[in-house]
């Protein structure tokens, strides 16, 4: 930016500071004397519309994230490796291992019935963990 | 985690108001504070060729989305003022980059062949900063005190320096400052000319 342009930008910046200071520093009576009809209502209307728009855009972001999650490629399923990790995990819990495996089955029945489901869920978890773990 | 999620998380720290806290802070604003917001939006809307209501709404929306934050350490009105100013600058930069149609300012033809380190930038600046300054100066035509005050402010003078420039005391300066603020505050956005 040339000297002239910089100078003009600086002039406007100084003027901006002055205007902000004047508007924020004015007394309540003084600022109300400058009010135009509908000022308060229009500010509140801007807030109401802003809240609606923010809600919509956040909803859209959440929807996009959910869609992206649903359409994400399934994790490659290595049954042998995942079972090994499950066994390691159970062993690492020592005395709690029995309760851990029971909790994983919703406190009922034998593990054989949902064996595959548990391994698939664990596979997803491991993918997430390993994805965040540079090691 | 995308950028907006990061920003939301950041806003939920101890240094910034959460969205819920901001909503409560807005609800607690006085009628005068709401007028202040419209006056600020009106002033900066003139700078970016938009509508005051749209500018205010966008600033509030960014806060409510968690994309902009209100530090606890400063008054919420000051935070909103900063965001409004920032959005106006962004819009103004868009004009300068040619992202929106711009009209030729009166002085630009003479300056179009200026030889400087960044002539295009300076020429584009004439569309915006130079033209805006011209409009503000026109607001105070015929009011010598306001003209001098405007020059002093643009030169970076403050307080006692301005009192000395205008040969007035603190109360006298405050009176002229209020007059200048009202005159500039009456500027209207000129969307069609930008």
Closest CA to A47 of B75, B70, B32, B37: B37
Q: Report the gap between the CA of A79 and the closest CA in chain B (Å).
A: 29
* pLDDT for the residue B105: 53
pLDDT by 10-residue block (mean), chain B, 194 residues: 45 81 96 96 85 94 94 95 92 66 51 48 59 88 93 91 93 94 77 39
* pLDDT for the residue A131: 60
Q: Tell me whether residues B61 and A53 touch, CB distance under 8 A.
A: yes
Q: Which of A5, A12, A19 lies closest to B121 in CB terms? A: A5
Task: Report DSSP state, residue A5.
Answer: H
Phi, psi of A57 (to 5 degrees): -70, -35
- In percent, how much of chain A has pLDDT > 70? 70
Residues A44, A122: Cα–Cα separation, whole Å = 50
* pLDDT for the residue A4: 67
A99: pLDDT strictly greater than 70: no
Give the pLDDT band of residue A66 (cuts 50, 70, 90): confident
* pLDDT for the residue B125: 52
Chain A contacts of B32, Cβ < 8 Å?
Answer: 26, 28-29, 31-32
Q: Tell me whether residues B36 and A26 touch, CB distance under 8 A.
A: yes
A3: pLDDT strictly greater than 90: no
Q: Tell me whether residues B35 and A43 touch, CB distance under 8 A.
A: yes
Task: Select the more confidently predicted residue: B92 or A54.
Answer: A54
Interface with chain B: mutation pick from A3, A7, A22, highest number of B CBs within 10 Å: A22
Residue B126 near residue B107 (C-beta atoms within 8 A): yes
Q: Which of B41, B43, B116 lies closest to A2 in CB terms? A: B116
Closest chain A residue by Cα to residue B155: A11
CB count in 10 Å sphere of residue B46: 23
Give the pLDDT band of residue A65 (cuts 50, 70, 90): confident
Chain B contacts of A51, Cβ < 8 Å?
Answer: 23, 60-61, 64
Closest chain A residue by Cα to residue B180: A19
Contacts (Cβ under 8 Å, ≥6 apart) of B80: B37, B40, B59, B60, B63, B70
* pLDDT for the residue A49: 97
Chain A contacts of B118, Cβ < 8 Å?
Answer: 1-2, 5
The mean per-residue pLDDT over the stretch A104-124 comes to 65
State the Rg of chain A over Cα: 31
A28: pLDDT strictly greater than 50: yes
Q: Report the gap between the CA of B80 and the closest CA in chain A (Å).
A: 11
Contacts (Cβ under 8 Å, ≥6 apart) of A62: none
Three-class DSSP category at B48:
helix
Phi, psi of A3 (to 5 degrees): -60, -45
Closest chain A residue by Cα to residue B135: A12
Contacts (Cβ under 8 Å, ≥6 apart) of A16: B44, B47, B85
* pLDDT for the residue B103: 52
């Amino acid at each position: 930016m040339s000297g002239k342009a910089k100078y003009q930008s600086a002039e406007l910046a100084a003027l901006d500071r002055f205007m902000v200071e004047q508007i924020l520093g004015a007394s309540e009576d003084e600022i109300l004397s400058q009010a135009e009809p509908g000022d308060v209502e229009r500010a509140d209307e801007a807030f109401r519309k802003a809240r609606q728009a923010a809600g919509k855009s956040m909803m859209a972001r959440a929807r996009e994230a959910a869609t992206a999650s649903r359409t994400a490629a399934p994790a490659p399923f290595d049954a042998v490796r995942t079972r090994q990790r499950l066994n390691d995990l159970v062993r690492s819990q020592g005395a709690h291992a029995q309760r851990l495996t029971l909790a994983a089955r919703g406190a009922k029945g034998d593990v054989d019935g949902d064996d595959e489901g548990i391994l698939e869920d664990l596979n997803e978890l491991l993918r997430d963990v390993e994805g965040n773990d540079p090691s | 985690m995308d950028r907006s999620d990061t920003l939301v998380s950041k806003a939920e720290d101890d240094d910034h108001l959460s969205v819920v806290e901001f909503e409560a802070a807005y609800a607690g604003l006085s009628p005068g504070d709401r007028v202040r917001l419209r006056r600020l939006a009106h002033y900066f809307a003139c700078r970016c060729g938009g509508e005051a209501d749209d500018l205010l709404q966008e600033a509030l929306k960014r806060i409510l989305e968690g994309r902009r934050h209100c530090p606890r350490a400063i008054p919420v009105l000051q935070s909103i003022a900063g965001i409004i100013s920032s959005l106006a600058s962004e819009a103004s930069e868009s004009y300068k980059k040619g992202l929106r149609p711009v009209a030729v300012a009166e002085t630009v033809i003479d300056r179009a062949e200026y030889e400087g380190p960044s002539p295009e930038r300076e020429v584009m600046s004439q569309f915006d900063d130079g033209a805006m300054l011209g409009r503000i100066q026109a607001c105070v035509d015929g009011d010598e005190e306001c003209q001098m005050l405007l020059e002093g402010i643009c030169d970076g003078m403050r307080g006692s320096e301005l009192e000395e420039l205008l040969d007035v005391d603190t109360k006298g300066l405050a009176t002229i400052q209020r007059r200048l603020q009202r005159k500039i505050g009456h500027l209207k956005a000129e969307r069609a000319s930008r």
